[in-house]
């Protein structure tokens, strides 16, 4: 919880944060909301290729407090593949991606991220190397997938401005 870092900042007196005399959760349920990039997503420009229902790709990008909501989901209209473009309002540092893939055969098994590319579509995607790839867990729960943060930066040290999943 954020209060822990504020109330227990011992950096001035040489003590680290690793040991103190009380118990609490540093990564509690509020942690996701605090670190969420939802407010940095340019939602008006999110787009999805292959979505069955218009704007369903945009609607699955939800604030932290709605992460368990299954009424907003996206399905492909043709096959199991989707491409979702997620632009941000500025540079971001992407630490993880949370996905609720759910059980069943219709859920994706792989997620590939392409950073700072606008030119990916179903005709070109196989010609590009993904910045990172994950095997997705089939679960009724939201699963958090860690990124290799160094991979999410470009050679100039700039942070990601767009991600294509």
> Span 30-59, mean pLDDT?
84
pLDDT above 90: percentage of residues in the chain: 26
Q: How far apart are CA 158 and CA 165, in angstroms?
A: 19
pLDDT at 48 > cutoff 90: yes
Task: Specify the residue for token string 């103190």.
Answer: 20
Mean pLDDT (the chain) is: 75
pLDDT at 55 > cutoff 70: yes
What is the structure's pLDDT at 23?
45
Lowest mean pLDDT segment, chosen from 59-63, 104-108, 109-113, 121-125: 104-108
What is the structure's pLDDT at 65?
92
What is the structure's pLDDT at 151?
65
What is the structure's pLDDT at 127?
93
Structural tokens at position 82: 């989707």
pLDDT at 18 > cutoff 70: no
pLDDT at 154 > cutoff 90: no
The model's confidence at residue 77, banded by pLDDT at 50, 70 and 90, is confident
For residues 159 and 93, the answer to whether their CB atoms sit within 8 Å is: yes
What is the structure's pLDDT at 70?
85
Is the overall model pTM greater than 0.85, yes or no?
A: no
For each of the domains in the chain, give its residue range(s) and CATH number, in order of start. Answer: 2-10+24-164 (2.60.120.470)
Q: In which order are the strands placed within the sheet that holds 132-135?
A: 47-49, 83-92, 160-164, 110-115, 132-135
pLDDT at 118 > cutoff 60: yes
């Amino acid at each position: 919880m954020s209060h822990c870092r504020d109330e227990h900042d011992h950096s001035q007196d040489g003590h680290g944060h690793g040991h103190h005399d009380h118990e609490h959760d540093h990564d509690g349920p509020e942690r996701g909301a605090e670190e969420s990039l939802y407010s940095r997503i340019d939602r008006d420009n999110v787009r999805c290729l292959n979505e069955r229902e218009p704007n369903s790709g945009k609607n699955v990008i939800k604030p932290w407090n709605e992460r368990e909501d299954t009424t907003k989901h996206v399905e492909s209209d043709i096959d199991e593949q989707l491409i979702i473009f997620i632009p941000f309002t500025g540079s971001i540092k992407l630490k993880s991606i949370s996905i609720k893939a759910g059980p069943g055969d219709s859920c994706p098994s792989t997620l590939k991220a392409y950073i700072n590319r606008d030119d990916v579509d179903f005709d070109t995607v196989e010609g590009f190397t993904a910045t990172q790839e994950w095997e997705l867990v089939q679960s009724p729960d939201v699963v958090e997938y860690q990124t290799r943060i160094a991979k999410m930066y470009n050679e100039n040290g700039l942070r990601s401005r767009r991600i294509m999943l």
